[in-house]
Amino acid sequence: MKSYSQISGEIGEFSNLPFWKKADTVDLVYVSYGLLIVSLVILSYVLGMFNLMPHDPQALNLDLMMASPGTSGHLLGTDFLGRDMLSRLILGIQAYFLPGLLAIAISLSFGTVLGVLAGYRGGRFDTGITYFTNLVDSFPRLVLILLVIAAFKPDIYYIMIVVGLTNVPVVASLIKGKIHFLRQKNFIEAAVSLGLPTRTIILKHILWHNCRSLFIIQATLGMGEAILIETSLSYLGFGVQEPMPSWGNMVQSGANYFMQGKFWPSTAPALAILFTILGFHLLGDGLNNMLEGKRGR
Amino acid sequence: MAKTILEVVDLKKHFTARKTLLSAFKEQERSIPAVDGVSFYLKENETVGLVGESGCGKTTIGRTILRLEKPTAGKILFDGKDVTAMPSEELRKLRSEMQMIFQDLDAALNPKMRIRDILREAIKVHHDITDEEIDGRIGELLEQVNLKRSKLSNFPHELSGGEKRRVGIARVLSVGARFIIADEPTSALDVSIQAQVVNLLRDLQKHLGLSYLFISHDLRVVELISHKVAVMYLGKVVEMGLAGRIATAPRHPYTHILWSSLVGKQSKEASSAVRNVQSGIWGVFDFERAYAGCRFAPRCPVYESKEYPRVCTDPASEPQLRDVGDGHQVACHFPL
Amino acid sequence: MDAPLLKIENLRTYFYSQSKQAFIRSVDGVNLEIARGETLGVVGESGSGKSITALSTMGLISAGPGVISGTIAFQTNGVQKNLLQGLENYVKLTEQDGKVMHVSKNVVGWEKHSDRIMHKIRGKEIAMIFQNPKASMNPFTTVGKQITEAIRLHTKTKDPLEAEDRAAYWLKQVKIDSPRLRLTNYPYGLSGGMCQRAMIAMALACEPSLLIADEPTTGLDATIQSKIVDLLVELKGELGTTTMLISHDISVISRLSDSVAVMYGGTVVECGPARDILATAFESKHPYTTALLTSIPSEQNIKEKGYLQAIEGDVLDTINIPLGCRFYSRCNRVTDAIRKKCESHEPDLREISPGHRVRCWLYFE
């Protein structure tokens, strides 16, 4: 039976319009919000890298402790040592941006290799990799991170390597699924029987043409996750250490003054975390719906 | 006398159920004989039709010849060279002469590539030629498959089913194939488009001297396009011969049932034995069921009408293909 | 003469495609009539709208932006009922420059209303057999339970044991061996052919006044196909159920139908008695029907190893329907005298001999 949903699905795929024109309005809102956040993050990262901040984020100003937002020169106020909140927020991005990219790079590269091996070679590789990924998945991630911290030192790069490695199974299974789907449609067989070299089939036809949107989506989602892990560990004191600012340790140090009515030192970084992670996730979600069309109708 | 281009000798392909940790402890693996000792040959400029019900192993044969599946046993000789034992680099070269048209229209078409790039890539695989030469070759191919030049800049999803099929055929021709395995090339198409494709395939054979292994369940089309027909049942060829003879004077009861089942076609030369007993044909058709001797016996009207002769179900005497004159072969103890 | 059991008039089922900002006109002005006890065969290629016509009749066009207009008049207990009554109130179209920009549909209201009209009819008065029997049966309950449930729901038999007897009776009617045993089988335990027969049994068990069979043989093996057709022929002789048989396979249609409707591009291009339309010798018919009949290999064709008469061009795009005749661009019988008309005016379905109607300018002079 040809149900209506199938018909409309076909038509959607056959459309000639660029993908942003045929997308749902909701997804467009998601993606534009996400892009806004991402560009803000990148801009702030560059600013922080070249020290282009309204104030020196480390400079103490004991005359102006706990100044409320809007105080002259301090848009978001100052913290308990009189340091400028906005500058510290901007500098806080340094704490997760590069490490987050590292985590993404690790999960995507290892995940792709394993996924291609499992999906393309199949058989024993598939069985082995499935067992391996199940094993990785069954470790509680936080415990693993704490183990690494205990064994080495509380360095954010070590933590992000763990985050990247624990994300490998997700990427691997997605790539494997994609390859299985292509195989089912005899797409890979057709390429093989044409005589194309295996390298071309995997790199060009599978990864470049059919998996690139998947990479973008996984990268945005991975970044959101990296931020979450970094900030929560810094909050607990395992991540970035004072006096280097991280949104996590800013929330933590500001929290002591929350009950005294001085809400901004903790609320500002907390909101920054919320909006940023939301941005990355919505971007990933919106792109997923637009590029892969997975919205369940 | 035309040259033999492909010879398949006693080809076997058994699928084993997927191995898990547990199955290592079991004594026996479950194995499904999808192709169980098939032999046939194909001459240049000739079409052999392969018919049978779904699941009888006809597609597996095609895939095994192309080495998309590794055969369990047997030989596949293409131009006298054994494909089964070929190293992969040599096999890759051989694939320029041996191609497959897949049932799925989209199989050959990368959705993110324009038609021009798809064809260009295919030409480049086996031919080291300049861009102008490639353009010339593409023009030639388009003419051969009767496709408009304007379609070259389209993406696959902008084409209709018939056009996709034409591009698929053009891609197969672009590498210079002489032997083409056509796996249900028309079944995904509408009736009116099917006829176009059948005509095209015959035209190409006439002009380019191609050989086809034509796999289909559409008996009328097979009868029309093939010179010889092989009928498969449960992984074995039960009857083989000239197309006209298979269709009008079948000797194996299964072939007879198959052709007389063409809805609307009156079976003219039905022997009385078959016409009277046609009840058992609802039977289940699968590899799981145990059989001994002749695989078709459980569904066979002749077996029933002859009151269940022992020889049909004797494990020691599975009927083998034997000649009944004029190159017509049949595997049955009691041919019609 | 009696009023026909089912009379479809000017049925239009459109689907709005957001991405193309246009309507996909799957069914575009279909007129059909089925008299009591008759079997109507509907032939056409994919995209001709034959399945959507059936789904519209069953009230199964509900999800998404599907829009139906026209009337489907159905006789139930001597009263004529329009199955599409009032449905248009739930759809609002926003137009701009003569183009539909947006379709807003109160899906919940539409479904509720549709259910209110259909709940006494669907399954009870009109039953349907689908193309893919395995997908249309619930894999988690036994065949027996499913048939028994249908019987208790739709017929006067309410007692569970009695209903089971009826179920076994109907399985026997469709030639399933040891029906009692099969009642306890799950759908996946049955072969394709057996499953399709169980579906037929389930549809017939409710003693519907109209049976819609949508591609009942497609996807089955050749030997099983012919058996299913034999069974349907036999059941037709025994029960005389009014049937709407939808298929792309002309040989199936010709075995079973009393009258035939040929569909192309969302509309009926020809309808009339089966023996006329499907006979190769019969001259005055729509060029599409002629082409369709000759594009399958005939015995003559096979004997001579000749070429098939293919219809050039492609299946109609149901978004951009041409102004004139839908078949014009592929037609090989356009003469200079009528070319202008074919190009710019769509012919209507006119009676050219008793009971035989054609939508072609060739016959309207």
- Out of B20-24, C20-24, C137-141, C153-157, pick the least confident: B20-24
- Among chain A residues, CA nearest to C49: A2
pLDDT at residue C298 in the model: 75
- The beta-carbon neighbor of A193 closest among B95, B121, B157 is B95
Report CA C219 to chain centroid distance, whole Å.
17
Among the listed residues C203, C103, C101, C90, the one whose alpha carbon sits nearest the alpha carbon of residue C146: C203
Ranges of each domain in chain B: 4-17+30-251
Q: Residues A236-248, buried b or exposed e (16+ Cβ, 10 A)? A: eebbbeeebbbbb
How does pLDDT run across C45-83, given as a tens digit for each residue?
A: 877 888 889 888 888 876 666 778 888 888 887 788 888
User: Residue A75, class by beta-carbon neighbours within 10 Å (0-12 exposed, 13-18 middle, 19+ buried)?
Assistant: middle
Helix H or strand E segment including B48: strand B47-51
Q: What integer best gives the mean pLDDT of chain B?
A: 82
Strand C22-34, strand C6-17: pairing: antiparallel
Q: Compute the distance between CA of residue A118 and CA of residue A177 in angstroms, rounded to an integer.
A: 10
User: Residue B244, class by beta-carbon neighbours within 10 Å (0-12 exposed, 13-18 middle, 19+ buried)?
Assistant: middle
Helix axes C192-205, C143-154, angle to 10 degrees: 20
What three-state secondary structure class fits A275?
helix
pLDDT at residue A41 in the model: 92
**Which distant-in-sequence residues (6+ apart) come within 8 Å of A212 by Cβ?**
none
The model's confidence at residue B263, banded by pLDDT at 50, 70 and 90, is low
- Among chain A residues, CA nearest to B67: A193
Q: What is the sign of the dihedral through the CA atoms of A34, A35, A38 and A39?
A: negative
Q: Compute the distance between CA of residue C216 and CA of residue C299 in angstroms, rounded to an integer.
A: 25
Mean pLDDT, residues B231-254: 89
Question: In chain A, positions 18-77, which contact chain C (CB-CB < 8 Å)?
Answer: 21-22
Mean pLDDT, residues C166-179: 86
pLDDT at residue A21 in the model: 64
- Out of A30-39, C59-68, C136-145, pick the least confident: C59-68
The identity of residue A248, as a single letter, is G
Ranges of each domain in chain C: 6-125+208-363
Q: Compute the distance between CA of residue C223 and CA of residue C232 in angstroms, rounded to an integer.
A: 15
More confident residue, B300 or B290: B300
ipTM over 0.85: no
- Among chain B residues, CA nearest to C228: B282
Mean pLDDT, residues B320-330: 86
Ranges of each domain in chain A: 95-292
Q: What percent of chain C has pLDDT over 70?
A: 94
pLDDT at residue A9 in the model: 33
> Which CATH class, in words, describes the domain spanning B4-17+30-251?
alpha beta
Q: Mind giving me the DSSP string for C113-181?
A: HHHHHHTTTBTTTEEEE-S-HHHHS-TTS-HHHHHHHHHHHHSS---HHHHHHHHHHHHHHTT-SSHHH
User: Residue B288, class by beta-carbon neighbours within 10 Å (0-12 exposed, 13-18 middle, 19+ buried)?
Assistant: exposed
On chain C, the residues whose CB falls within 8 A of the CB of B261 are 222-223, 225-227
Task: Kindly state which CATH superfamily the domain C6-125+208-363 is placed in.
Answer: P-loop containing nucleotide triphosphate hydrolases (3.40.50.300)
**Rounded to a whole number, what is the distance in Å from the CA of A195 to chain B's nearest CA?**
5
How does pLDDT run across B129-166, given as a tens digit for each residue?
A: 888 889 899 999 999 998 888 888 888 888 888 889 99
**Which distant-in-sequence residues (6+ apart) come within 8 Å of C73 by Cβ?**
C6, C7, C8, C9, C80, C81, C82, C83
Long-range contacts formed by A20-25: CB under 8 A, 24+ apart: A20/A290, A21/C19, A22/C18, A22/C19, A23/A286, A23/A289, A23/A290, A24/A289, A24/A295
B50 to A134, B177, B212, B222: CA distances (angstroms):
44, 20, 10, 8
On chain A, the residues whose CB falls within 8 A of the CB of C135 are 1
**Which distant-in-sequence residues (6+ apart) come within 8 Å of C220 by Cβ?**
C192, C193, C196, C228
End-to-end CA distance of chain C: give it in Å, rounded: 30
On chain C, the residues whose CB falls within 8 A of the CB of A22 are 18-19
- The beta-carbon neighbor of A11 closest among C20, C63, C214 is C20
A107 to A104, A170, B92, C110: CA distances (angstroms):
5, 8, 33, 47
pLDDT at residue A12 in the model: 37
| Neighbors of chain C with 3 or more C-beta pairs under 8 Å | A, B
The reply to whether residue A11 touches residue C26, judged by beta carbons under 8 angstroms, is no
Among the listed residues B300, B314, B301, the one whose alpha carbon sits nearest the alpha carbon of residue B234: B300
Asked if the model's pLDDT at residue B280 lies above 50, the reply is no
- The beta-carbon neighbor of C64 closest among A4, A17, A22 is A4
Mean pLDDT, residues A85-101: 89
CATH of A95-292, one of 1.20.58, 1.25.40, 1.10.3470, 1.10.3720: 1.10.3720
The model's confidence at residue A149, banded by pLDDT at 50, 70 and 90, is confident
Helix axes C222-239, B253-260, angle to 10 degrees: 50
Compute the C-alpha angle B42/B45/B50, nearest 5°: 45
Q: What is the biggest distance separating any 2 CA atoms in chain C, rounded to whole angstroms?
A: 70
Q: Compute the distance between CA of residue C306 and CA of residue C351 in angstroms, rounded to an integer.
A: 35
On chain B, the residues whose CB falls within 8 A of the CB of C264 are none
How does pLDDT run across A182-194, given as a tens digit for each residue?
A: 888 888 888 888 8
- Among chain B residues, CA nearest to C264: B192
User: Residue A267, class by beta-carbon neighbours within 10 Å (0-12 exposed, 13-18 middle, 19+ buried)?
Assistant: middle
